């Protein structure tokens, strides 16, 4: 096991950042030491600190975006939108906190009242992903802090520099250093943090494999909150679309933005047999025009690289496996350069592949499936153990009503990309895409727990039924009392 984490630019190989691995026990102990004082502060105090954080990040947009681009390989324009999402998260989370976790009192008889309040859990661990190394963990951390929790954040070992920058912005805003802790490390440190007795819950964004392991680990621990935001094998149906060019653009946005490294990316394109060729041709033409390159390229690329060469190999192997099983390539997925993780977008018809594996291939690869009718399209859309995102591109409101009613997914869109999710709405899925604890606007739900109280200014109680009559009081004949013996 290495005792140092090194982060390198996936495009150039240049070392960006280096630090020794952290101590999960020490970080949890520090957070436990700072939590009580933070939780005792008023909501307005904590919110004000988070608003300062938002302003600090706003003032560092260019610096922050540059770091995200250099550490992930994503284009600068996209990195900048990620930083803007970090800024906007505070206002959204404040609104969500007061809407989702309110304090209420309902008056009863004799000055009695029923009260509802919410309490923080304590110390929450946050495990962040590499694809959105600032926005996604921030989506857990901000609502956790507003609710009064302390946080131990372990960023992905592939993007630790962004994680450190994010934590530094919290501290600069006046969030105490012992309330937001950074744990540097790899999978071993993540396992130690998840298993630590001193955490009161874990908020995870990552792969289904990691989520299943955590679900098993936390199964015998109902005392600890677990929120899982996992991946998807997301369907995109295009059916009777009046504007083929617009539909093709939505397909490309859904499948290939962030080099396909979005949990909401479209993985399966479902089309009507016999009417699919104009759409497929329009998609292929856009693919041929897509600029792939480093973040600082001019003109700006549409997509950058995947996170590293190992990921590029995994995605390439997935494409080759589909070909070997009978898939028909429409646009070949290939490495642009052997020593760099740039991939061309892949498009492959897998209609004749009977043993397609229901997995999330985390890269720019889209599988085409032709079906005879819309009922078959719906069945194919739901032919997955996942249930994160699904989208229909169609001019028919009636088809959308059927699609919405029958889709098994937490995000169901119409004439929008599969990855068009709003931070002002809940974000999460069903099946293997999560554990029914959606994040984004609903993150407030898992960052505090409700406490119901029946309250009265004085004790008033009597038992009116179910008691025996009281025994008769005994009387004594004093003449029969004997003198005490000497």
Active centre residues (catalytic): 229, 263
User: What are the backbone angles phi and psi of residue 150, rounded to the nearest 5°?
Assistant: -95, 155
Quick one: how many helices (H) and strands (E) in the chain? 14, 21
Question: What residues have CB less than 8 Å from 466, skipping those under 6 apart?
Answer: none
Cα–Cα distance for residue pair 402/406, rounded to 1 Å: 6
Structural tokens at position 301: 């690329």
Q: Are 407 and 236 in contact (CB under 8 A)?
A: no
Long-range pairs for 357-360: beta carbons < 8 A, 24 or more residues apart:
357/321, 358/233, 358/383, 358/384, 358/385, 358/386, 359/233, 359/318, 360/207, 360/208, 360/231, 360/232, 360/233, 360/263, 360/267, 360/386
- Which residue(s) pair with 14 in the sheet? none
Cα 184 versus chain centre, distance = 20
Q: Where are the beta strands (DSSP E) in 352-399?
A: 365-371, 389-393
Give which of 72, 437, 47, 376 is closest to 64, Cα–Cα: 72
Q: Are 258 and 78 in contact (CB under 8 A)?
A: yes
Structural tokens at position 359: 């997995």
Cα–Cα distance for residue pair 102/99, rounded to 1 Å: 6
What Rg, from alpha-carbon coordinates, does the chain have?
28
Q: Are 413 and 390 in contact (CB under 8 A)?
A: yes
CB atoms within 10 A of CB 296: 13
Give which of 57, 59, 127 is closest to 89, Cα–Cα: 57
């Amino acid at each position: 096991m290495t005792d140092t984490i090194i982060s390198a630019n996936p495009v150039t190989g240049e070392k960006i950042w280096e630090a020794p691995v952290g101590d999960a026990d020490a970080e949890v102990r520090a957070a436990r030491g700072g939590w009580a004082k933070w939780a005792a502060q008023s909501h307005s105090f904590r919110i004000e600190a988070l608003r300062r954080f938002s302003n600090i990040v706003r003032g560092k947009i260019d610096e922050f975006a540059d770091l995200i681009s250099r550490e992930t390989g994503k284009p600068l324009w996209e990195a900048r939108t990620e930083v803007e999402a970090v800024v906007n998260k505070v206002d959204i989370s404040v609104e969500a906190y007061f809407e989702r976790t309110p304090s209420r009192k309902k008056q009863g008889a004799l000055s009695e009242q029923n009260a509802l309040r919410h309490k923080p859990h304590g110390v929450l661990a946050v495990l962040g992903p590499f694809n959105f190394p600032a926005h996604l963990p921030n989506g857990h951390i901000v609502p956790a802090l507003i609710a009064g929790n302390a946080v131990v954040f372990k960023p992905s070992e592939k993007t630790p520099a962004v994680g450190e920058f994010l934590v530094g912005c919290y501290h600069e805003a006046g969030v105490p250093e012992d309330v937001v802790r950074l744990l540097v490390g790899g999978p071993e440190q993540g396992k130690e943090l998840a298993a630590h007795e001193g955490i009161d819950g874990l908020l995870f964004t990552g792969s289904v494999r990691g989520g299943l392991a955590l679900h098993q680990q936390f199964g015998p621990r109902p005392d600890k909150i677990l929120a899982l935001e996992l991946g998807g094998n997301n369907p995109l149906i295009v059916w009777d679309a009046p504007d083929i060019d617009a539909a093709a653009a939505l397909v490309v946005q859904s499948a290939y933005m962030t080099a396909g490294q979005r949990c909401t990316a479209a993985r399966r394109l479902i089309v009507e047999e016999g009417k699919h060729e104009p759409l497929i041709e329009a998609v292929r033409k856009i693919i041929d025009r897509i600029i792939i390159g480093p973040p600082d390229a001019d003109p700006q690329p549409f997509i950058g690289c995947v996170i590293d060469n190992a990921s590029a190999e995994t995605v390439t192997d997935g494409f080759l496996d589909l070909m070997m099983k009978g898939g028909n390539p429409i646009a070949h997925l290939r490495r642009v350069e052997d020593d760099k993780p740039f991939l061309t977008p892949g498009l492959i018809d897998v209609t004749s592949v009977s043993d397609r594996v229901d997995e999330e291939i985390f890269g720019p690869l889209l599988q085409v499936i032709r079906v005879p009718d819309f009922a078959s399209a719906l069945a194919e859309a739901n032919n997955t153990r996942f249930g994160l995102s699904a989208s229909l591109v169609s001019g028919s409101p009636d088809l959308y009503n059927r699609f919405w009613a029958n889709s098994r997914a937490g995000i169901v869109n119409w004439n929008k990309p599969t990855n068009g999710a709003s931070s002002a709405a809940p974000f999460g899925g069903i099946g293997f895409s999560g554990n029914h604890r959606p994040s984004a606007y609903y993150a407030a739900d898992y960052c505090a727990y409700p406490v119901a109280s029946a309250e009265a200014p004085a004790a008033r109680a009597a038992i009116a039924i179910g008691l025996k009559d009281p025994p008769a009081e005994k009387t004594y004949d004093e003449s029969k009392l004997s003198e005490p013996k000497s």
